[in-house]
Amino acid sequence: MAKISVLGAGSWGTALSLLLFNNGHDVTLWSALPDEVNMLREKREHASKLPGVKLPEVMEITTDLERSLKDPDVAVLAVPSPFTRSTAHQMAPYVREGQKIVNVAKGVEEKTLMTLSEIIEQEIPNADVCVLSGPSHAEEVGKGLPTTCVVSSRTRETAEYLQSIFMSPVFRVYTTPDILGVELGGALKNVIALAAGTADGLGYGDNTKAALITRGIAEIARLGVMMGAKAETFYGLSGIGDLIVTCASVHSRNRKAGYLMGKGYTMDEAMAEVKMVVEGVYSAKAAKGLSEKYEVEMPIINEVNKVLFEGKPASEAVMDLMLRDKKVETPMLPWED
């Protein structure tokens, strides 16, 4: 049995805290929001974000950050990506040397273009920062539906330890050393999912969505490899796996926000309707910034930014993607003649 603190009591943090508790671990769930903690203590479920998923009475739920970080074996950081830096900064005074921190949020910081693990390492340099990602909607993990993810860390030993912590009959975990690839796949797929949702809202079909998914992963992989990640990672769970589920699932807040924009909502109206953090909106500018920094062509990312921040009609963005210059799909493959 391990002592685990889950920091962030939204849908994903709540679902993971239950998973880890059911795995036999001693789990503490922390939130910075007193009203959220009071609601969870009283109802033992997150009524607005994860209804019907009951937390055990013996699980501690608290706003006391120092108490939550008192010698846990593992700290799981599950706050939305825009709050990763501020939360890590608050955590820093209480984190011991070598503390394992598993980031489970997905995003890239707009101003610095840093991944979330890089942010945590900057704010808490004495921590051992790891990442868990993959196609894993909280609504399904909370209900115990079969799910598969990947965990990444600097060492094989740590990755295998975390694999044993999270793995269960309904939650299968793989390992990889490619932290950067795992994080980029998890963050940038949210931007592509906005495009997929927008296409749904415009009334386009499965052909359109398949095109966005396949060309979207090509864009993400091109950037990732240029940044030093491994191409294989993007064709695994945290790449194409997460992209498929986020583009297609009714649980996807990014797809839903895109769908509403396809129906004519503004970005702000769509985010207000979703009522949860739409990570893709926060990652879109960062993705464009990375494409410019590394001089990587990312046409879908570019058009999503125009729709989000420049008022470009979504139907016009799709048309501009379709009318781009002729391309070869696999430029790395030689012709015989």
Catalytic residues: 189
Q: How far apart are CA 19 and CA 12, in angstroms?
A: 10
Q: How wide is the angle at C-alpha 253 spanned by C-alphas 62 and 29, nearest 5°?
A: 10
Does residue 325 sit in helix, strand or coil? coil
Q: How far apart are CA 231 and CA 241, in angstroms?
A: 14
Q: Which residues contact 27 (CB under 8 A, 6 or more apart)?
A: 4, 5, 6, 17, 20, 21, 59, 60
Q: How far apart are CA 175 and CA 160, in angstroms?
A: 7
Q: How far apart are CA 100 and CA 2, in angstroms?
A: 12
Q: How wide is the angle at C-alpha 107 spanned by C-alphas 210 and 76, nearest 5°?
A: 115
The tokens for 131 are 């990442």
Residue recorded with tokens 């950081």: 77
